[in-house]
Amino acid sequence: MSDGAVRLKSDFLEVDISPQGAEMVALRDRHGHDLLWNGDPAFWTGRAPLLFPIVGRLPNDQLVHDGKVYPMAQHGFARRRAFTLEEATDQAVRLALHDDEETRKQYPFAFSLTVTYRLEEATLTLEAEVANTGAGVLPASFGFHPAFRWPLPYGGTRADHRLVFEKAEAEAIHRPVGGLLSTATEPNPAVDAILEPTDALFERDALILLDLRSHHVRFGVPGEPGLEVAFPDMPHLGIWSKPGAPFLCIEPWAGYASPEDGPAEFIDKPGLSLLAPGASKRFAMTVRWLPDVGRLIGPHEVEG
């Protein structure tokens, strides 16, 4: 287990969460098979970073507020900050981050970010709550960025894996252009709610689905165990890998990168949540282990 990480355990899954970035750093099934990417720097050092207070990039990596410029790196600063461990049991852990002198150099707003992981049987729930602790409006986005093994450790090659959407996704997709959201679109590569991930698909970076119909996707080889990622209240989805990399990121988002032709002032950026003083907003996703990724089973039907 990573230094300082907290471990959650059930009869089906084992999860390690690091206070650094409140990031999930390991996810294993009951037999010890690794399901989460290990952060190998040969490909990508992330594992499952949390994206706050932005998703994607801002123009010139700068946040502009009331005409003043603040440096803000891609996906924000939460993934690089140490969170305070507030509670930990075998089934749940809660961590928190609050604004301080360093955050206000990048993001001139008062906030609290509380992240809770709960493990129940074969389902891991990740919940983030953003609260406005200041006197003005809090503009923020939040995103999840878990990277799963591709291939998963059950059978079949990378080419055998499928990403199965809850519903058919026919709307055009966007791509990042220099980290910003392209104004151009292209046809959705999913066919009849099924996406076949390939290296060629990611030669031009991520797939960005803004007009998402589905609330969950399933990943794996039909006939083999796999994972379901559910995101009932997250309106957007990013899907990303690098050609040849043994991971696939399935990223539920509430927010997205600045459009190529977007406004200069941060508060006018599309995709933001605008929280009034004292208000808060919840963002959540679940990861569920499935005995057969190709079989439809109910939320409480979990087989060994």
Average pLDDT for 228-245: 97
In the predicted model, is pLDDT for residue 165 greater than 50? Answer: yes
pTM value is: 0.95
Give 189's contacts (C-beta < 8 A, 6+ positions apart). Answer: 173, 195, 196, 201, 207
Give the whole-angstrom CA distance, residue 115 versus residue 93: 8
In the predicted model, is pLDDT for residue 38 greater than 70? Answer: yes
Average pLDDT for 164-173: 95
The pLDDT score that the predictor gives to residue 294 is 76
| Ordered structural domains, the chain, with CATH | 6-290 (2.70.98.10)
| 170 within 8 A of 188, measured Cβ to Cβ | yes
Q: How many residues does the chain have?
A: 304
pLDDT band at 163; cut points 50, 70, 90: very high
Average pLDDT for 48-71: 97
The pLDDT score that the predictor gives to residue 296 is 45
In the predicted model, is pLDDT for residue 150 greater than 90? Answer: yes
How, if at all, do strands 162-165 and 273-275 pair?
unpaired
Give the whole-angstrom CA distance, residue 137 versus residue 109: 8
Angle value at C-alpha 111, between 110 and 117, nearest 5 degrees:
165
CB-hemisphere CA count at 13 Å for 242? Answer: 10
| 56 within 8 A of 179, measured Cβ to Cβ | yes
Average pLDDT for 71-93: 97
| 95 within 8 A of 25, measured Cβ to Cβ | no
In the predicted model, is pLDDT for residue 297 greater than 50? Answer: no
Average pLDDT for 104-124: 98
| 75 within 8 A of 144, measured Cβ to Cβ | no
Average pLDDT for 88-111: 97
Give the whole-angstrom CA distance, residue 298 versus residue 177: 39
The pLDDT score that the predictor gives to residue 293 is 84
The pLDDT score that the predictor gives to residue 304 is 36
